[in-house]
A and B are shown apart, each in its own frame.
Chain A
Amino acid sequence: DTAVSQTPKYLVTQMGNDKSIKCEQNLGHDTMYWYKQDSKKFLKIMFSYNNKELIINETVPNRFSPKSPDKAHLNLHINSLELGDSAVYFCASSQRGGREETQYFGPGTRLLVL
C-alpha cells in the first residue's frame, strides 16, 4: 500500500499554462505539506495544512494555490506557469505536525515548464 501518493509523476507543459498536482495519504495523518526541490536538490517548504487548515504559507508566488478538500488530500494548483517553476514537487505528511515527528514523503512530481 502506498502511504503518500502523488499524481502525476511527470508533468511537461508550456509556459503560461495552469496545472494541478494531487496528493493523497492513507496514513491517517493530520498534517500535510508541499515542498519544492530545485535542480540543485535544495528542498524548501511551500505550504502546510493541518486538518484542512492552512498553517504554513512560505513566501511563494500567489500563482501557487494549495487546496485541502479533506485531511487525506492536499492538492497544488499552479497558474500561469513560468520556466522557474520547473522542479520536483514533493508532498509529505506527518501525524500531527509535531516537532519530533517523522515526515513521510510522496514519490514527487517532476514538473518541466518549456
Chain B
Amino acid sequence: GQSLEQPSEVTAVEGAIVQINCTYQTSGFYGLSWYQQHDGGAPTFLSYNALDGLEETGRFSSFLSRSDSYGYLLLQELQMKDSASYFCAVIGEDSSYKLIFGSGTRLLVRP
C-alpha cells in the first residue's frame, strides 16, 4: 500500500522560515506534489518534484530525496496569508495516476 506522513500542525512567526516534512511509502514512485488549502477553500497546486533536489518558486521551495523517501516544503518570509493546510501527495502506484494525499499539515502564522 501507499502512505504519507506529515506533521499535523506547525506554528511559526510572520517573517520566519518554516519547513514541512513529508515521508512516503510507495512501491512505485513518480514524484511528490504539494498543495495548499485555505480554510473553506479548494486545494491549489504549489509544486512538483520528480527528481532529487530543490525546486524554488518565489518564497516557496520544495525538496525531494528519493533515496530517503522524503521531501519537504520550505516557506520563507512567512506572511499571515500563508496560514493554511499543506498536503503532500504522490501518484498512485497503479497505472491510473490518481493522487494519494497525506493527512495535511496545518500551518498557523502568528504576528
Q: Which parts of B1-49 form the interface with A (CB within 8 Å)?
A: 30-31, 33, 37, 41-45, 48
Given A33-B98, A100-B48, A103-B99, are A41 and B42 neighbors across the interface (CB < 8 Å)?
A: no
Shortest CB distance A89–B (Å):
11
A18-46 toward B: CB 8 Å interface, digit per residue (1/0)? 00000000000000010000001111110
Q: Are B98 and A99 in contact (CB under 8 A)?
A: no
**Interface residue? A48 (CB, 8 A):** yes
B33-76 toward A: CB 8 Å interface, digit per residue (1/0)? 10001000111110010100000000000000000000000000
Shortest CB distance B26–A (Å):
12
Range of interface residues on chain B? 20 to 34
From A43, A56, A58, A97, give the contact of B87 (CB < 8 A).
A43
- Which chain B residue lies CB-closest to A44? B101
Q: Are A102 and B42 in contact (CB under 8 A)?
A: no
Alpha-carbon separation in the docked complex, A56 to B100 (Å): 13
Q: Are B30 and A42 in contact (CB under 8 A)?
A: no
Range of interface residues on chain A? 20 to 34
Given A99-B91, A100-B50, A102-B48, are A107 and B103 neighbors across the interface (CB < 8 Å)?
A: no
Shortest CB distance B34–A (Å):
11
- Which chain B residue lies CB-closest to A107? B42
Shortest CB distance B97–A (Å):
5
A46-87 toward B: CB 8 Å interface, digit per residue (1/0)? 001000000110100000000000000000000000000000
| A-side contacts of B50, CB under 8 Å | 100
Q: Are A99 and B30 in contact (CB under 8 A)?
A: yes
Q: Are B97 and A45 in contact (CB under 8 A)?
A: no
Alpha-carbon separation in the docked complex, A45 to B98 (Å): 7
| A-side contacts of B91, CB under 8 Å | 99
Given A41-B85, A41-B104, A44-B101, are A99 and B45 neighbors across the interface (CB < 8 Å)?
A: no
